[in-house]
Every structure is written in C-alpha cells, then in structure tokens.
Amino acid sequence: MIVDFQHHFTPRELIKEDPGNRRVLVYDENGAPSYTIHSLLYNLDEHVAMMDAAGIDAAFLTTARAVEWYSDESGTDGAAAVASAAACGACSTAARR
C-alpha cells in the first residue's frame, strides 16, 4: 500500500477569491513566499484522480497555514471547516475507491 503523508487540502470556503487557473502566491510578514493557493487545493475529486494516476492508495490530508489564517481573519473556525469539508469530500469520493 502506498500512502501520501503530505497531501495538501484547503476547503474552498477558506480561500477568499476563486483562483481559477491561476496560482496565487502568499507572502509572510517578512516578504518571503509562504503559501501557494490554487484550485487543486480544494478539489478532492482531482486529488483522487492524481492519486490514481500516481498509484497512491491513501492520503493524509494536511492544511499548512490556511487554518491559522482564516481562523484569525474571518472568525471562521478553520480547523472545523477543514474537518467538515474533508469528511464530506471523502464521502463523495469514497465510492470510487
């Protein structure tokens, strides 16, 4: 069994604007690049398709700093949003596995 232990995921509701086909680079307070936002972060069907193409059987979803940012800025509980979105997404894609 092949398991991906660093599979980045951020729920769509935690991304301020739709990145479309772009990659949006976020910088930290010192001007260093710290996070890249793109549509694949929140598209679990695409995650599964990429896993299938690469022969990956399972993945641990990780979120990087998005949970921290959006918990502070919007009042949204970022950790709860990630857990809820991942669970819902997993339910919709699990039938394909």
- Per-residue pLDDT reduced to its tens digit, 12-56: 777 777 888 888 888 888 998 877 888 888 888 888 888 999 999
Cα 24 to Cα 8, 19, 72: the distances in Å are: 15, 7, 20
pLDDT at 57 over 50: yes
Residue 91 identity (one-letter amino acid): C
Find the angle CA(8)-CA(49)-CA(7) to the nearest 5 degrees: 15
pLDDT band at 94 (very low <50, low <70, confident <90, very high): very low
Tokens of 88: 């819902």
